[in-house]
Amino acid sequence: MTPFAYERATDASSAVARVAAHPNAVFLGGGTNLVDHMKLGIAHPQLLVDVTRLPFSKIESLPDGGIRVGAGVRNSDLAADRTVRERYPVLSQALLGGASGQLRNLATTAGNLLQRTRCAYFQDVTVPCNKRTPGSGCSAIDGHNRDHAILGASDQCVAVHPSDMAVALAALDATVVVLGRQGERRISAVDFHRLPGDAAQRDSMLEHGELIVAVELPALPVAAHSVYYKVRDRASYAFALVSVAAALEVRSGRVHDVRIAFGGVAHKPWRARRAEAALRGAPATEEVYGRAADAELADAKVLKHNAFKIPLARNTLRMVLRQLAQGGR
């Protein structure tokens, strides 16, 4: 591990100023991904600014009926929050589907968003990876790519985003609140992460020195009837092969409102707007669910080992919609 200086932030603005002024400085949250990357030789910060003791550990109600989740709220506390469980069950389930009890007690809301891909080639410093070393090439495209992207990938990178929580946030129309040197700005959760394009090293729209201070969820009635379904190789403690975050309201046999996002299929949580458009106003039937899935997956491109993800994504979405329409969540 490269030597680094450690500072404990006492207020957010000076933490931002400190990191922004130092090109090799990073914020330290729960550390469960960053410290691992420092051990693996993927990250080499020279200054760590610890933001875990800043006052960002509250979940508050907003005047418009939504909630504001502090960036430092631990994943376990967010999952267990009564309001989240009742009004945004998809978020609780996504959080509980990620990592382990011990890690969820450490990992923060902001850190969960900023965790990096578990692509085995990204995590192995002995092989080329455009995300880790821009311009070095992608080892996954012609390598073992069973876990990799089927949507939105580029010839530079086929990695998928690992977060479950972020998939739920994308479905819930959440907003990420970010503090920079110029003050706060707000980024929709759907746009927060980016596709690899020709800059695979950039996971998100966050600029160096910007600090996530909160995530806001809108009052979203349909979210009370939502679910996160995660398909993985083990029953627990594994990353998603494919996951679906969905909220559905059916009135008189027709889809009144719907939100869908996929995990495990792209470089970012994949908000399924085409599927939503195909569903909205349509009869809540198996045939429509299948058409909606097909609309979303029409542009999917498979690699050598991940063709199974197309039928898996299709079938998972259909099953989730069927369960939601039948009243289960």
Stretch that binds other proteins, among 93-101, 141-149, 213-221, 242-250 (CB under 8 A): 93-101
- Beta carbon of residue 110, minimum distance to other proteins (angstroms, whole number): 15
Count of residues near other proteins by CB under 8 A: 37
Residue from 66, 89, 209, 264 binding other proteins (CB under 8 A): 89
Under the binding rule (CB under 8 A), the answer on residue 236 touching other proteins is yes
Closest approach of other proteins to the CB of residue 244, in Å: 15
For the record, the structure tokens of 85 come out as 């469980």
| Residue from 311, 259, 252 nearest 282 by CA | 252
According to DSSP, the residues that pair with 82 across neighbouring strands are none
Contact call for residues 161 and 117 (beta carbons, < 8 A): yes
User: What separation in angstroms does the CA of 69 have from each of 78, 142, 177, 213?
Assistant: 8, 40, 10, 9
**Who's near 183: CB < 8 A, 6+ residues apart?**
none
Rounded to a whole number of angstroms, the minimum distance from the CB of residue 78 to other proteins is: 11
Residues 6+ apart with CB under 8 A from 189: 166, 169, 170, 172, 173, 174, 175, 176, 215, 269
Is there binding between residue 97 and other proteins (CB under 8 A)?
Answer: yes
Q: Could you tell me which stretch among 149-157, 230-238, 271-279, 299-307 binds other proteins (CB under 8 A)?
A: 230-238
Asked if residue 316 binds other proteins (CB under 8 A), the reply is no
- Looking at beta carbons only, is 111 or 269 nearer to other proteins? 111
| Contacting residue, 19, 71, 75, 76, with other proteins by CB under 8 A | 76
Contact 284, 324 (CB under 8 A): no
Cβ–Cβ < 8 Å for 218, 152: no
What is the C-alpha to C-alpha distance for residues 210 and 213, in angstroms, rounded to an integer?
Answer: 9
In the DSSP assignment, the letter for residue 206 is P
Q: Is 99 in the site for other proteins (CB under 8 A)?
A: yes
DSSP bridge partners of 261: 245, 271
Specify the pairing of strand 47-50 against strand 5-8. parallel
Residue 111 within binding range of other proteins, rule CB under 8 A = no
Closest approach of Cβ 36 to other proteins, in Å? 5
Geometric angle at alpha carbon 195, from 190 and 197, rounded to 5°: 155
Contact pattern from residue 25 through residue 54 relative to other proteins, giving x for each residue in contact according to CB under 8 A and a dash for the rest? ---x--xx--xx-xxx-------x-x-x--
Output the smallest distance, CB 228 to other proteins, in A: 9
Which of 43/303 has CB closer to other proteins? 43
- Interaction residues for other proteins, span 178-207 (CB under 8 A): none
240-299: which residues touch other proteins (CB under 8 A)? none
Q: Which is nearer to other proteins, 36 or 294 (CB)?
A: 36
Q: Which of 103, 195, 224, 282 binds other proteins (CB under 8 A)?
A: 103
d(CA 308, CA 317): 14
Residue numbers at the binding site for other proteins (CB under 8 A):
1, 3-6, 8, 28, 31-32, 35-36, 38-40, 48, 50, 52, 76, 79-80, 85, 89, 92-93, 96-97, 99-103, 105-106, 235-237, 329
